[in-house]
């Protein structure tokens, strides 16, 4: 009923109030100081639709209808999947640089040797990703139902990679700058390999500085957990 007063400073209609006798001034004593405040009803005008949109985004993402982009890492984190199928596979060694004076640098001089794997189109079953936050793990799982996780231009910089792999039309020993299968090139003079298709069962990666393209994550679950993947 009184919502009309939300739109105007309430200075206009209180001069007769005993508590705000000094209403003409910006502030008055005794708990009725006049200052900028958040009007809850007004805030709700934005909060309610925003909540609905956020919920809609979460639902659409969980159903796999929306692609979600990840560009995380810097801290090591683990990715596992029971099966990875991909077309357009490249792999080469690279050196990742940490930020200057990074607390994670230790005695490495701020550089970490990594294996960069790039996959043009990848399908993952039962994807699990965990980040160790110290004491607790941020756990993301997806693709355990009928719909699988799909990714394009997936690029991971790993320090460890394990699984049962099968490659089709693999070329080993290319120069990393001449790779063509996934559209990513490494530095000149670095060993590399590429293949038309790749299939890795029981995939497990420890990624130091992973970057990735676009993910579709059906059945997404994000939670904190005591144990990682």
Enumerate binding residues for another protein (CB under 8 A).
1-2, 4-6, 9-14, 17, 19-20, 23, 25-47, 50-51, 53-54, 57-58, 61, 66-74, 96-97, 138, 153, 155, 184, 209, 211, 213-214, 222
Least separation in angstroms between CB 82 and another protein: 23
Q: How far is the CB of 38 from another protein (least distance, A)?
A: 5
Nearer to another protein, 147 or 165 (CB): 147
At closest approach, how far in Å is the CB of 148 from another protein? Answer: 19
Query: HSE (CB half, 13 Å, CA atoms) of 8?
Result: 8
Query: Which of 198, 163, 164, 212 is closest to 91 using CA atoms?
Result: 198
In the complex, minimum distance from the CB of residue 166 to another protein, in angstroms, rounded to a whole number: 28
Q: Residue 48 and residue 52: Cα distance in Å, rounded?
A: 6
Which of 18, 173 has the CB closer to another protein? 18
- Nearest distance, CB of residue 22 and another protein, angstroms: 9
Distance (Å, rounded) from C-alpha 84 to C-alpha 79?
11
4/227 with CB nearer another protein: 4
SS (H, E, C) 148-165: CEEEEEEEEEEEEEEEEE
Angle of CA points 173, 111, 113, to nearest 5° = 25
- CB nearer another protein, residue 42 or residue 169: 42
Distances (CA, A) of 99 to 105, 158, 169: 9, 18, 38
Q: Please, which residue, 53 or 166, has the CB nearer to another protein? A: 53
């Amino acid at each position: 009923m009184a919502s009309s007063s939300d739109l105007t400073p309430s200075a206009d209609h209180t001069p007769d109030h005993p508590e705000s006798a000094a209403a003409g001034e910006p502030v008055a004593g005794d708990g009725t100081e006049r200052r900028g405040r958040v009007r809850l009803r007004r805030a709700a005008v934005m909060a309610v639709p925003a909540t609905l949109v956020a919920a809609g985004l979460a639902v659409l993402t969980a159903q796999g209808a929306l692609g979600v982009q990840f560009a995380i890492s810097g801290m090591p984190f683990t990715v596992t999947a029971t099966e990875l199928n991909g077309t357009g596979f490249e792999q080469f060694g690279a050196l990742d640089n940490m930020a200057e004076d990074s607390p994670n640098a230790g005695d490495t001089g701020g550089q970490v040797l990594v294996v960069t794997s790039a996959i043009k189109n990848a399908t993952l079953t039962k994807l699990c990703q965990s980040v160790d936050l110290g004491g607790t793990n941020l756990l993301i799982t997806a693709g355990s139902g009928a719909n699988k996780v799909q990714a394009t231009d997936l690029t991971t910089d790993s320090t460890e990679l394990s699984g049962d792999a099968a490659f089709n039309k693999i070329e080993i020993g290319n120069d990393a700058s001449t790779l063509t299968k996934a559209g990513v090139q490494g530095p000149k003079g670095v060993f590399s390999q590429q293949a038309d298709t790749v299939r890795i069962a029981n995939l497990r990666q420890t990624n130091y500085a992973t970057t990735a393209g676009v993910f579709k994550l059906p059945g997404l679950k994000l939670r904190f957990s005591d144990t990682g993947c």
